[in-house]
Amino acid sequence: MAKFKPVLIRGFFIWVCGVIIYAAVQVFRGMEPLLSWIGLDLTALPLMVFFASYFRDAGAAAKSNTLGYTLVSGLGLVICMAVSYRYGEAAGIVHIWAGLTFVAWVLFLRAGLKV
């Protein structure tokens, strides 16, 4: 499992990058419901900041403030879910992407922060 952990971490990082880019494109296109796309971006952006410091400091300094990243990411998930509840089928599957991103983040934290 130790051999696969760096691959999984980098795979999650690529997932977060893809979600941010796709949601940002949808926001700039003005896709409805706009707050759902903003919530998806808010779910993934703190994780991108975390990974930037994680890779820069080799995981040492990034371990200290995971609660802040989790709270902001959770806020994005709540916004996305609330808008998805309001718009129903029109919101599409944006809330699923936000949920998967947040659950993967929690699993990442539970698995430990060592590369």
- Cα gap 61→17, rounded to integer Å: 21
Residue 76 included in any domain: yes
Q: Around Cβ 43, how many Cβ atoms within 10 Å?
A: 32
Residue 2 included in any domain: no
Residue 1 included in any domain: no
Rounded to an integer, what is the distance from CA 55 to the centroid of its chain? 17
Number of domains the chain is built from:
1
Residue 50 included in any domain: yes
**What pLDDT is attached to residue 25?**
95
State the residue range of the domain holding 70.
7-111
**What pLDDT is attached to residue 102?**
96
CA atoms 47, 53, 56, 61: torsion sign = negative
Global pTM value: 0.87
Nearest 5°: the CA angle 22, 71, 74 is 45
- Cα gap 74→35, rounded to integer Å: 15
pLDDT tens digits in sequence order for the chain, 115 residues long: 567 777 888 899 999 999 999 999 999 998 888 899 999 999 999 999 998 888 887 666 556 678 999 999 999 999 999 988 788 777 778 899 999 999 999 988 887 765 4
